[in-house]
Amino acid sequence: MPPLPANGTNTHPEEPTKDVPEMRWRDEKKEESTVQEAKGDNTTGDSKEESDDPTKRLENLTGEDVNRWMKELMPPGTKCMFVVSLTVAPEWQGQGIGSAFLKWGAENADKAGVFCWVHSSEAAWTTYAKAGFEVVGTLDVDLDEYAIGPPPRKELEVSKGKWGHYVFRYMKRLPR
């Protein structure tokens, strides 16, 4: 569960740590330039094509929100662990595997004396809460505003022809 930049690649130099093997720290100043490069020039929302593309609008909304929280939770000089992704194959879910990974990561963060944070999905936030993460902010997205059509299957509907809302939770766990 080492921290990685927002674009999913490890472009930061490793900083050695004591007593915590295989942990990498984020360099906030370098992170800002990496995020800007990953976003490219089409994040202004000025182009007609982009404003008409609901997927691009949703991508911009969520990307800008994550960047805002990164600045809020990780001001320059901050050392922390950022959980980028924790995924367990469906056939192995519900057996404590995700919780074990989270426990391992939290123990390493505790040893290093740093906090952890995550941009949690709707499905995972209760697992993070059980591991001691607390919600510090949310982004509630009305999916119908960004949908290009009705849900393809009845089980995806929250009401007739509606996608409903999806809540992203920004969660933080202080070291123990």
% the chain with pLDDT above 90 = 44
Q: What single-letter DSSP state applies at residue 14? A: P
How many residues are there in the chain? Answer: 176
Q: Token match 């900083």: residue?
A: 15
- Please choose, from the candidates 175, 62, 67, 172, the residue with its C-alpha nearest in 3D space to the C-alpha of residue 125: 172
Tokens of residue 116, six digits: 């952890």
Residue ranges making up the domain that contains 116: 28-173
The answer to whether residue 37 sits within a structural domain is yes
The answer to whether residue 1 sits within a structural domain is no
Tokens of residue 102, six digits: 């989270």
Q: State pTM to two decimals.
A: 0.66
The answer to whether residue 71 sits within a structural domain is yes
Reported as a single tens digit per residue, the pLDDT across 58-106 is: 999 999 999 999 999 988 889 999 998 889 999 999 999 999 999 999 9
| Direct distance between the N- and C-terminal alpha carbons of the chain, in angstroms, rounded to an integer | 18
The answer to whether residue 75 sits within a structural domain is yes
Tokens of residue 166, six digits: 């999806």
The answer to whether residue 23 sits within a structural domain is no
Reported as a single tens digit per residue, the pLDDT across 133-142 is: 999 999 999 8
The answer to whether residue 116 sits within a structural domain is yes
The answer to whether residue 159 sits within a structural domain is yes
